Chain A
Amino acid sequence: MEYQITWFVLWGILWTAYFMTDGFDLGVGMLYNLLGKDDTEKRAIIRSIGPVWDGNEVWLVTAGGATFAAFPATYALMFSYLYSALLIILFGLIIRGVALEFRGKIESAGWKRSWDAAIFAGSFVPAFLFGVAFGNIFQGLPMDARGYHGSLFSLLNPYGLLTGALFVLLFSVHGGLWLALRTGGELSKKAASTAAQAWRALALVAVIFLIYTAFATRLYDNFLRSPLWFIVPAAAVCGLIAARFFLARSDASRAFLASCIAIVTVTLTGIVGLYPNLVPSSLDPAFSLTAFNSSSSIYTLRIMTVVAVIFVPIVIAYQAWVYRVFRHGVTTNGPAVEGY
């Protein structure tokens, strides 16, 4: 029992860590063409996420690996049911990683323009589809004893699309704030004002999302049962408002921190609401995949717990250290890193 609950919590934390970290570099990728007016600015934008995006993405691989090890039945069914959506996410992430690395390698306008488009598409598509996927998980997937009854297109229902939009906007604001924090001069100012504009759209979508969630999902059931948990979505609302507040006072570092809190608590709201389900069935709760009916053996969960308790803090420590090394950010006339 305890180990299954522990791993449900860890599962939630891993996804949260992924969205908090990769969220801003996906957001940066979405704003990249909008904000980078010339090659110098574009290179500065890439250099601002260059040292960290790869490490951020490993949270996704770890979340996937942990789902496999701790909840194999969920991993198997979720990944095979969402086959086409995951495939598109994969293509997006692949082309994005390659684009960030290859763009600066050849001094040709056409070469760079193609990769610029790839950076946008490879950031937007995964951000949007992660939202769509989680929106559908929040609602439950149409699955029963005979398997899965949905398709790529059935995922694109109103609530799924709304969650997709929510993710895109959350990450855009997050990315804009990152650029405001880590770049300088005109670029930083533009990023701040774009983040402020995106924030308005985000606030609207977030309000609709919070209301629509009451009708489209059963996420609030857990909260109504133990209202103390309402502190989590309340923190999300506070985080969003604080981000705008600090942005207005040109305090990019606090605004970014507030946006981190917002993403963490938005994700956790979903995780708390899902418990004990990892993927609910929209047809019959008997076929929901839960932390208890889809988990590994207690022996395996115990080993995984030991691994996680030892290594996750170490990972966080050295990743935080590398963030610190690059804390001074980049400038458009800063030290050259050839090829980036």
Chain B
Amino acid sequence: MDTVTLSRIQFAMTAGFHFIFVPLTLGLSLLVAWMETLYVRTGDELYLRMTKFWGKLFLINFVVGVVTGITLEFQFGMNWAEYSKYVGDIFGVPLAIEATVAFFLESVFIGLWIFGWDRVSKKVHCLSIWIVALAGNLSALWILIANGWMQHPVGYVLRNGRAEMVDFWAVLTNSYGWLKFGHTIVAGYVVGAFFVMAVSAYHILRKQHLAFFKRSFRMAATFALASAVLVVVIGDFHGAEAGRVQPAKLAAMEALWDTREGVPFYLILIPDTKNERNSVEAFGIPKIVSFLAYRDWDAELKGLKEFPEKDRPPVMPVFVSFRVMVGLGFLFIGLAFVAWYLARKDRLESSPLFLRIMLYAVPLPYIAAQLGWIVAEMGRQPWIVYGVLRTSEGVSRSIEPSQVMASLVGFGFFYSFLGILDIYLLARFAGKGPDDTGVAY
């Protein structure tokens, strides 16, 4: 394999691994902040115990998210030097701002939150977890503004042999970045909420710490319902924008080969990429894809055949990932609604089947988030900056395939080890329940 392929695998692997931990950080930090706020406002000790129990799980997850993030910042230079040289004038800016305005806040105040229980007042302590939560979300914003520029480059000119920024405001307000930000963080909230519901379901099924976990479940269910609806709504707008900006990506997402108007949505569709057609198209809902993409039932959508083969993204992975992600998105709304309803009616204990479903549903939001990244980033191929620079042109010239192979294998082993360890610790502490994390933190 060549350096480009190996570097792509490595970036996908390290970014995908990082994003196992980030969404839970995004969602769980807000839930923990909410719990601590309720404690400070009501003085109810149950909320304090909830803050500490969920806070502990939050931290086990948080640290891996933080340390694996550094890898990504380094990798742009290590593996993608030509890309970094070509677009650093623009792309480096949001990354540097992220570190300065968001990552510092998150990292400094997490220290205060962990070790500051008896050093600062209750209110200041509670404020520190809010700062951590908001800074984490702010980090995501800057990263996705950077990513949004790769997807939809704006505010630049090609000059001096590179892309130079001429309009920071345009980069900052790039709707692609903002929609992706909204879609991504809310997906993180779904992950966090489903995580809390799954752990709570486990304990409610065992009839232990009932008051504790029923209240946790109820809070998470409300959060899950709001987030699950939002992730689909924002996702719809985001998908429509992606379709306008990157028609080849949309065509791959829908496996649309020929340009046509009033494109239907086929419930069952099997693409045949070799022959550039679909071998099965059944149960079509007329015109719906055209409407979703352009808000116009008869809008024309460009088919893949409009694009020379070298300008097309890989169809199969993008198509399958998109379908499964969307299906999961609707499933989450259904599950979250039932969860919210049962929690409100206090019927959780009498619904063991549903609790079991929620327990085993915990990987699904994670999978949906990973699939979303596959749609976004594989769908962008063969471009590293859409329409401006090809991925193959962005790779470092000074590195050898053997070097990248070695680092890839290294990351593979190292990250697997970390992942297994983290899941083990999370499972162990989640299963133990709250009493062990009692008074002294």
Query: Could you tell me which A residues sit within 8 Å of B by CB distance?
Result: 47, 50-55, 57-58, 60-62, 64-66, 68-70, 72-73, 75-81, 83-84, 86-87, 90-91, 93-95, 97-98, 100-102, 105-106, 147-148, 296-297, 299-300, 303-304, 307-308, 311-312, 315, 318-319, 322, 325-326, 335-340
Contacts and interface: CB of A to CB of B under 8 A. Distances in A.
Given A68-B92, A98-B63, A147-B397, A80 B107 contact: no
Nearest to A303: B168
24 contacts: A50-B114, A51-B112, A54-B110, A57-B70, A70-B96, A77-B81, A79-B74, A80-B398, A87-B78, A87-B410, A91-B410, A93-B70, A97-B66, A105-B429, A297-B160, A300-B89, A300-B90, A300-B92, A307-B97, A307-B100, A319-B108, A325-B119, A338-B441, A340-B114
Q: Which 5 A-B pairs have the closest CB atoms?
A: A72-B88, A79-B77, A69-B92, A68-B92, A65-B96
Interface in B81-98: 81-85, 87-93, 95-98
Nearest to A47: B115
A296 B89 contact: yes
Nearest to B68: A94
B306 interface: no
B101 A311 contact: yes
Contact of B71 (A78, A83, A90, A101): A90
A65 B70 contact: no
Nearest to B172: A303
B88 A101 contact: no
Given A98-B63, A147-B397, A51 B100 contact: no
A80 B77 contact: yes
B420 interface: no
A311 B67 CA distance: 23
B100 A315 contact: yes
B59 interface: yes
Given A55-B111, A61-B69, A304-B96, 13 more contacts: A54-B107, A61-B70, A62-B103, A66-B99, A68-B92, A73-B85, A77-B81, A78-B77, A90-B71, A98-B418, A326-B119, A337-B115, A338-B440
B18 to A, nearest CB: 11
B88 A65 contact: no
B396 interface: yes
B353 interface: no
A51 B116 CA distance: 8
B318 to A, nearest CB: 29
Given A94-B71, A319-B104, A326-B115, A76 B81 contact: yes
Contacts of A296: 88-89, 92, 164
A297 to B, nearest CB: 5
B399 A80 contact: yes
A137 to B, nearest CB: 14
B367 interface: no
Contacts of A308: 100
B440 A336 contact: yes
Contact of A69 (B96, B110, B440): B96
A83 to B, nearest CB: 5
Contacts of B87: 72
Contacts of A315: 100, 104, 108
Interface in B393-441: 396-399, 403, 407, 410, 414, 418, 421, 425, 428-429, 437, 440-441
Contacts of A336: 440-441
Contact of A87 (B100, B112, B120, B407): B407
Contact of B88 (A73, A100, A102, A303): A73
A148 B403 CA distance: 14
A58 B67 contact: no
Nearest to A50: B115
B76 interface: yes
Contacts of A57: 70, 107
B142 to A, nearest CB: 10
B219 interface: no
A100 B112 CA distance: 16
Contacts of B108: 52, 54-55, 58, 315, 318-319, 322
B361 interface: no
B99 A339 contact: no
Contacts of A51: 111-112, 114-116
B92 A75 contact: yes
A102 B397 contact: no
B78 A86 contact: yes
Contact of A94 (B84, B112, B162, B414): B414
Contacts of B97: 65, 307
A81 B414 contact: no
A100 B111 CA distance: 12
Interface in B301-326: none
Contact of B164 (A297, A304, A335): A297
A90 B59 contact: no
A69 B93 contact: yes
B262 to A, nearest CB: 45
B166 interface: yes
A73 B165 CA distance: 15
A119 B86 CA distance: 38
A96 to B, nearest CB: 8
B95 A102 contact: no
A325 B120 CA distance: 8
A83 B403 contact: yes
Nearest to A316: B104
Q: Which of B59, B67, B80, B117 has the most CB of A within 10 A?
A: B67
Q: Which of A72, A78, A81, A335 has the most CB of B within 10 A?
A: A72
Q: Which of A62, A69, A307 has the most CB of B within 10 A?
A: A69
Given A62-B100, A75-B77, A76-B77, A68 B399 contact: no
A281 to B, nearest CB: 14
A61 B99 contact: yes
B114 A337 contact: yes
Contacts of B91: 68
A47 B96 CA distance: 30
Contact of B403 (A70, A76, A84): A84
Given A66-B96, A98-B63, A335-B118, A50 B77 contact: no
B378 to A, nearest CB: 24
B112 A300 contact: no
Interface string B183-205: 00000000000000000000000
A80 B410 CA distance: 17
A325 to B, nearest CB: 5
Given A58-B107, A148-B398, A299-B166, A69 B95 contact: yes
B421 A65 contact: no
B67 A93 contact: yes
A90 B95 CA distance: 18
